Structure 1
Amino acid sequence: MVASGLVDAVLLGAAGAFVLFAVVLVYRIVAGPTMQDRVIAVNAIGTNAVVVLALLAAALDQPGFLDVALVYGMLNFLMSIAISKFTVERGGVI
């Protein structure tokens, strides 16, 4: 029983670390300096959100969180493709 509590605490701690990393990435979104930097930062935050949801699903024994994580991961990928295509068409690629 103690091992289960320890595993849950470690998973929640790891989820907290990923959330802190995502907060740090907000600086890259604001500061830039290029559109590509911002796109990569938004993509990294989306990836962190998927990882946090997966860790929470394991720690809290909520398998429904994994479904949300998978859908969000697919939407994050499509968003990255759409923004990249948009910047190429506008001539934003150096």
Structure 2
Amino acid sequence: MKWLGLILKNLGRNRRRSILTVLSLTVSLFIFCALASVPVVANQILADSASSLRIACHNKAGLAYELPQAYKQTIAATEHVVAVVAESWFG
């Protein structure tokens, strides 16, 4: 308890220094945590996109136009293709 009183007394002596010290520690911990989480987030994004089994093709004129039927038949004839949808609109 003797040390705790001494610590609290010295913290109150120079408030600006104490506040800046706490803020600098807070900012440095935030930056460290943010940078440490970047590889984890990148791996999660890559794992989610790699597990997707869909391919999206659209007309160069825009999403409102369907692909030609010949493209649908060509895509359906490709190996490992289970189903082809001529138009699928979300939104």
TM-score in terms of structure 1 length: 0.33
TM-score in terms of structure 2 length: 0.34
Q: Higher helix share goes to which structure?
A: 1
* Bigger radius of gyration among the two: 2
